Amino acid sequence: MTTLHLEHATHTHTHSPDCGHTQVPHGDHVDYAHDGHLHREHGGHWDECEPDGHTAHEGHDHQHGEGCGHRSVLHGDHVDYLHDGHRHAPHNGHWDDH
């Protein structure tokens, strides 16, 4: 899975472990959940961290939801669940790997 390079040009806030936004481990970097967006530092600016395409998480039998034990984070018009370094989102009867 690749990640789109969508610069958040108007983002002046500098994220850090102490900035107050939820840290989301994501592959080789950390995203920060901010107002329904996931931001990552890239080349001296902040990008929207969005997957490029649709990637189903095959073989994921666990049903995420309230009380499932995984942190939830608002992502646009839905909720992602943080699970083993991935963000899982419901999609057409399966879980997508964000």
- pLDDT at residue number 1: 46
What secondary structure letter does DSSP report for 23?
Answer: E
pLDDT in single tens digits along all 98 residues of the chain: 445 556 666 667 788 889 888 888 877 888 888 877 788 887 888 887 776 666 777 777 788 888 898 888 888 788 888 877 777 888 888 888 76
- pLDDT at residue number 53: 66
Residue 6: CB atoms within 10 Å? 13
User: What is the distance between the alpha carbons of residues 64 and 18, in angstroms, rounded to a whole number?
Assistant: 28
- Amino acid identity, residue 11? H
User: What is the distance between the alpha carbons of residues 88 and 18, in angstroms, rounded to a whole number?
Assistant: 25
